[in-house]
Structure 1
Amino acid sequence: MRKITFFTLSTCPACKKVKKFLDDNRVSYSLIEVDSLDSSEQWAAIKELSKHNPQVSYPTVVIEDVVIGNDIDSLKAKLQ
């Protein structure tokens, strides 16, 4: 099974769209809702996110070593 990590913000409309797509397609993933974490956890999550996406933009989906933002078509292609 592929490791999928989803970095998101609770207030981000594009993040909600990607989350809905993943949930509707029953994709198993680890969710990191950065703005819902406490300060030290936020810092650790942002540090981890920056390893994959130096711009630290949201949403960021990491599928193994491939980074996808809010491009649903790219996400579909990678999940097939």
Structure 2
Amino acid sequence: MHKRVRLYSLSTCPVCKKVKEFLKNNSVEYELIEVDTLDSAEQWLAMKELKKINPQETFPTVVVEKAVVGFDEEILRKILELNA
């Protein structure tokens, strides 16, 4: 079963890069929203959406279905039902 995954990221964020690598290495399909590469109107909308999901507006923010996490490999493995 595929879970819907969305990643709010910054192109320059080292932890965001680790999340992308983790998802890729585990063959997890995800929607990437790289906020700092969007034009100003799209960036504003993305940040407004992010603030609703994660009031701290921290990067990376990973949304799996209705669960919201940062980069915590153990929690991501559990939510995504990946084998260790």
Calculate the TM-score normalised by the size of structure 2.
Answer: 0.92
- Identity, in percent, stands at 55
Q: Does 1:68 find its partner at 2:69?
A: yes
**How many residues in Structure 1 have an aligned counterpart in Structure 2?**
80
**1:11 aligned residue:** 12
> How far apart in 2 are the matches of 1:38 and 1:10?
14
Q: Between Structure 1 and Structure 2, whose CA radius of gyration is higher?
A: 2
Q: CA RMSD in A?
A: 0.7
The 4+ residue runs of structure 1 with deviation greater than 6 A are none
Deviations 1:23-56 (A, max 9, x none): 1111011000000000000000011111110000
Gaps of 5+ in 2: none
Gaps of 5+ in 1: none
> Partner amino acid for 2:33?
I
Report the alpha carbon displacement of residue 19 of structure 1 after superposing the two structures with TM: 0.5
**2:34 aligned residue:** 33
Report the alpha carbon displacement of residue 72 of structure 1 after superposing the two structures with TM: 1.2
Calculate the TM-score normalised by the size of structure 1.
Answer: 0.96
> Partner amino acid for 1:34?
V
> Partner amino acid for 2:32?
L
> How far apart in 2 are the matches of 1:18 and 1:58?
10
> Partner amino acid for 1:41?
E
